[in-house]
Amino acid sequence: MHANLVLSQIAEHRPFGGVVPEIAARAHLEQLAPLLTRALEEAGFGFGDLDGIAATSGPGLIGGIFVGAVMAKALAAARSLPFLAVNHLEGHALTVRLTHDQAFPYLLLLLSGGHCQLVAVDGLGRYRCYGGTLDDAVGEAFDKTAKLLGLGYPGGPRVERAASTGVPTRFALPRPLLGRSELNFSFAGLKTAVRRYAENLVPEDSQGRADLAASFQAAVAEVLADRAERALLRFREETGVAGPLVVAGGVAANQVLRDALAATAEAAGTSLVAPPPRLCTDNAAMIAWAGLERLRLGWTSPLDTPARPRWPLESLTAEETS
Q: What is the overall mean pLDDT for the chain?
A: 93
Asked if 121 contacts 107 with a C-beta cutoff of 8 angstroms, the reply is yes
Residues 209-255: pLDDT tens digits?
999 999 999 999 999 999 999 999 999 999 999 989 999 999 999 99
Residue 175 contacts by C-beta under 8 Å, 6 or more apart in sequence?
Answer: 190, 219, 222, 223, 226
pTM: 0.92
- pLDDT of res. 318: 53
Residues 23-49: pLDDT tens digits?
778 878 888 999 999 999 999 999 999
Distance from chain centroid for Cα 266: 23
Residue 258: phi and psi, rounded to 5, are -60, -45
* Domains of the chain, each with CATH number or no CATH: 10-91+280-321 (3.30.420.40), 104-274 (3.30.420.40)
Residue 187 has pLDDT above 80, yes or no: yes
Give the whole-angstrom CA distance, residue 228 versus residue 317.
Answer: 25
Residue 320 has pLDDT above 50, yes or no: no
Give the whole-angstrom CA distance, residue 177 versus residue 265.
Answer: 20
- pLDDT of res. 322: 43
Between helix 155-163 and helix 255-267 the angle, nearest 10°, is 80
- Burial (Cβ within 10 Å: 0-12, 13-18, ≥19) of residue 228: buried
Residues 67-106: pLDDT tens digits?
999 999 999 999 999 999 999 999 999 999 999 999 999 9
Residue 44: phi and psi, rounded to 5, are 75, 30
